[in-house]
Amino acid sequence: MFARIFSAGSTWLTEIEKEDRRVLAEGLAGRVIEVGCGAGVNFAFYPPEVTEVVAVEPEAHFRGEATKAAAKVDVPVRVVPGVAERLPAENGEFDAAVLSLVMCSVQDPATALAEVSRVLRPGGQLHFYEHVAARGGVLRAIQHGMDATLWPLVAGGCHCGRDTANAIRDAGFEMVSLRHLAVKPFGIPSHLAPHILGVAARP
């Protein structure tokens, strides 16, 4: 049910986040794995330097939507089932990985990032766009309370207060660029407003 509701609003959300997603895809080249591709809203932003995208998605409805999106773009995209904690790929197989609004809902962030590191070649890049914990104050306390109660149950396992930037560093990636954003679809701060956008490298 959550996947169908989210898919219905994805076109509207993508329009709001269009510039952020364009920046997310900048510099990608070669073979790319996108982890948790959802309905495939990033596919249209991949540059022609990308030779193939393997888009991993565990949810069947999202995979169907992503397959339709893949058919509309010039970059070759292959949508496959799988979860972030057990990526269907060989060691060092990819030149880059993309994480986009997925780390909030993976069951084990540390394992998921270890898997991303495993499937990237040495020097490969991780491009990420994630909503994250606020950097302090009342909003961070609100996020903590929501994550400990009903929010993950009603939002498809989403945890709005995860510190994904530090999780990426803890997984051994070297931060290349990092921007903190406030995404406010209605111009009003919310528990989902804090975002990060950046690139990290596998040593």
Does the pLDDT value for residue 6 go beyond 80?
A: no
pLDDT of res. 9: 44
pTM listed for this prediction: 0.90
- The model's pLDDT over 146-158, given as tens digits with 9 standing for 90+, comes to 999 999 998 889 9
**Smallest Cα–Cα separation from 174: which of 120, 126, 109?**
126
In angstroms, the CA 164 to CA 200 distance is: 12
Structure tokens at 75: 């970059």
What is the identity of the amino acid at 201? A
In angstroms, the CA 190 to CA 183 distance is: 9
**Smallest Cα–Cα separation from 17: which of 25, 159, 163?**
25
Q: For 116, list phi and psi in degrees, rounded to 5.
A: -60, -45
Residue in this structure with the two tokens 């030779």, named with its chain if needed: 51
110 contacts 164 by C-beta, under 8 angstroms? no
- The model's pLDDT over 46-100, given as tens digits with 9 standing for 90+, comes to 999 999 999 999 999 999 999 999 999 999 999 999 999 999 999 999 999 999 9
- Structure confidence at residue 23 as a pLDDT band (50, 70, 90): very high
42 contacts 96 by C-beta, under 8 angstroms? no
